[in-house]
Amino acid sequence: MNAHPIALPPGATLQPGRGGLERLVVDTPACVGEIYLHGAHLTGWQPRGDAPVLWLSAHSVFEPGRPIRGGIPICFPWFGPHPADASRPPHGFVRLAPWTLERVTREADTITATLALAVAADREPLWPHDVALRLEARFGRELAVAFTVENRGTTACPVAEALHTYVAVGDIRQVTLEGLGGIAYIDKVKGGVRAVQDVAPLTFDGETDRPYLGTEAAVAIVDPALRRRIVVEKEGSRTTVVWNPWIAKARAMPDFGDDEWPAMVCVEAANALDDAFTLAPGASHTLRTRLRVG
């Protein structure tokens, strides 16, 4: 439990979640939601009257040092496998760490939670930098998430990052994504070949794993099965990653049910690959994503 309990507004409670990990639960007339202190991992958001917007695997583990499968994992300071040492945790180490809940505020029916993590230069030998991280999650009729990195060291630090959002859909085989037409991407399913998305909305007929590069565009997830449209906007992000593991990849992941792949699509606000960047000493950068229904 938090060593120094903080004041919580009405509609916000701190309680043990799955695996006994501590979570903040939000319950207001606008929405219900939850975020774990483990990894500052947002695992749920459901506007009143709508089906859940974030997908969470029924097979996820909830253990210190292990990633939660679903919701919005924070990928930092690298994206995917570590470029030099595949033994290091994929998507970096901050989603595996216990964060501190700093503040919870309420304005009308929107609750904002701020979590923090300090990373010392001796934490990760392959990334020897001193940074302060902050995650701000605003739970309302919309969901707004901001991930801020402040370089507190004396050397510039390389950054690749993502808010790796898992969106719940009725059936991926009927889903189309709008907003990526004409944008260059890397096709990780085809060995990393580079291509340009044609103007027609993206559809899914197999494993799809595509970082779209140099784009700040919003993406609309058109979901006929749930009869809804989810808009994913972003700021401070030049990469949008689209992922669905499909059948074989889902079967190969122990924390992903064999039958769960039709019910999700990842649309991730990121800065990775060509869009990775270097943060100067003393500088800060904020990556934002915002989800709304309709």
Binding ligand TA6 (rule: CB under 6 A), the pick from 55, 243, 246, 261 is 243
User: 3-class secondary structure for the chain?
Assistant: CCCCCCCCCCCEEEEECHHHCEEEEEECCCEEEEEECECCEEEEEEECCCCCCECECCCCCCCCCCCCCECECEEECCCCCCCCCCCCCCCECHHHCECEEEEEEEECCEEEEEEEEEECCCCCCCCCCCEEEEEEEEECCCEEEEEEEEECCCCCEEECEEECCEEECCCHHHCEEECCCCCEEEEHHHCCEEEECCCCCEECCCCEEEEECCCCCCEEEEECCCCEEEEEEEECCCEEEEEECHHHHHHHCCCCCCCCHHHEEEEEEEECHHHCEEECCCCEEEEEEEEEEC
Which parts of 15-54 interact with ligand TA6 (CB under 6 A)?
Answer: none
Tell me which of 38, 91, 129, 164 is the catalytic residue. 164
Residue 164 bears catalytic tag: yes
Nearest distance from residue 155's CB to ligand TA6, in Å? 27
Q: State yes or no: residue 266 binds ligand TA6 (CB under 6 A).
A: yes
Q: State yes or no: is 91 an active-site residue.
A: no
Taking the complex as a whole, the smallest distance from the CB of residue 274 to ligand TA6 amounts, in Å, to: 15
Which of 268, 269, 275, 276 forms a contact with ligand TA6 (CB under 6 A)? 268
Q: Rank residues 209 and 233 by Cβ distance to ligand TA6 and give the closer one.
A: 209
Among 51, 52, 63, 80, binds ligand TA6 (CB under 6 A): 80
Partners of residue 210 on adjacent β-strands: 242
Closest CB to ligand TA6 among residues 82, 164: 164
Determine, following the binding rule CB under 6 A, whether residue 67 of this chain makes contact with ligand TA6.
Answer: yes
- Comparing CB distances to ligand TA6, the nearer of 142 and 268 is 268
Q: How far is the CB of 74 from ligand TA6 (least distance, A)?
A: 11
Walk across the sheet containing 41-47 and list its strands.
Answer: 12-16, 22-27, 31-36, 41-47
Give the shortest CB-89-to-ligand TA6 separation in angstroms. 8
Cβ contacts of 83 within 8 Å, gap of 6 or more: none
Quick check: 241 binds ligand TA6 (CB under 6 A)? yes
**Least CB distance to ligand TA6 at residue 212 (A):** 12
Out of 90, 158, 182, 206, point to the residue binding ligand TA6 (CB under 6 A): 90
Number of C-beta neighbours around residue 49 at 10 A: 8
- Return the residue matching tokens 């202190």: 37
CB of 189 to ligand TA6, least distance (A): 9
| Residue numbers 177-216 binding ligand TA6 by CB under 6 A | 188, 209
Query: Contact letters (x/-) for ligand TA6, 135-164, by CB under 6 A?
Result: -----------------------------x
Q: Does 91 bind ligand TA6 (CB under 6 A)?
A: yes
Residue 93 touching ligand TA6 (CB under 6 A): no
Locate 257 and state its tokens: 């049910």
Residues marked active site are found at 164, 268
Q: Which residues bind ligand TA6 (CB under 6 A)?
A: 67, 80, 90-91, 164, 188, 209, 241, 243, 266, 268
